[in-house]
């Protein structure tokens, strides 16, 4: 039996849904591991923290408060994925450039936060 793994997406900022479009990316903020190489062999790896984030584009509808979205701080951002999983970004802020594309009325957003929980379906 085939399972839905992609497609629909719902993004909410403090409970208010955005009109999302295109591809969104979630980074739960797990440590990034990189190999440490000596002159003789691989010695192991190092870990560095990553900032949890949710990033993508929203359509600017007539009632979209663009300044409020660009000024988001200390927010909870929820992503409901097509496969039934949810990501919850806590104590988040808007960290992107906030580029507003006029051809399709899209607003680029990048939310970063202190922690993200990924919940299975």
Query: Two tokens at 92?
Result: 């988040």
Is 3 among the domain residues? no
Q: What is the pTM assigned to this prediction? A: 0.92
CATH of the domain at 112: 2.40.30
Reported as a single tens digit per residue, the pLDDT across 3-44 is: 888 989 999 999 999 999 999 999 999 999 999 999 999 999
Is 1 among the domain residues? no
Find, among 93, 89, 98, 96, the residue nearest to 110 by Cα: 96
| Structural domains of the chain, count | 1
Is 82 among the domain residues? yes
Is 62 among the domain residues? yes
Parent domain of 21: 9-119
């Amino acid at each position: 039996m085939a399972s839905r793994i992609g497609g629909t997406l719902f993004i909410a900022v403090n409970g208010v849904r955005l009109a999302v479009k295109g591809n969104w990316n979630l980074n739960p903020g797990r440590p990034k591991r990189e190999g440490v190489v000596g002159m003789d062999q691989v010695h192991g790896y190092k870990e560095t923290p990553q900032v949890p984030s949710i990033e993508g584009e929203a359509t600017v509808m007539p009632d979209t408060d663009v300044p409020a979205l660009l000024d988001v701080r200390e927010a909870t951002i929820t992503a409901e994925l097509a496969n039934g999983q949810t990501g919850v970004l806590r104590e988040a802020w808007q960290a992107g450039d906030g580029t507003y594309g006029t051809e399709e009325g899209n607003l680029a957003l990048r939310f970063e936060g202190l922690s993200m929980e990924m919940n299975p379906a």
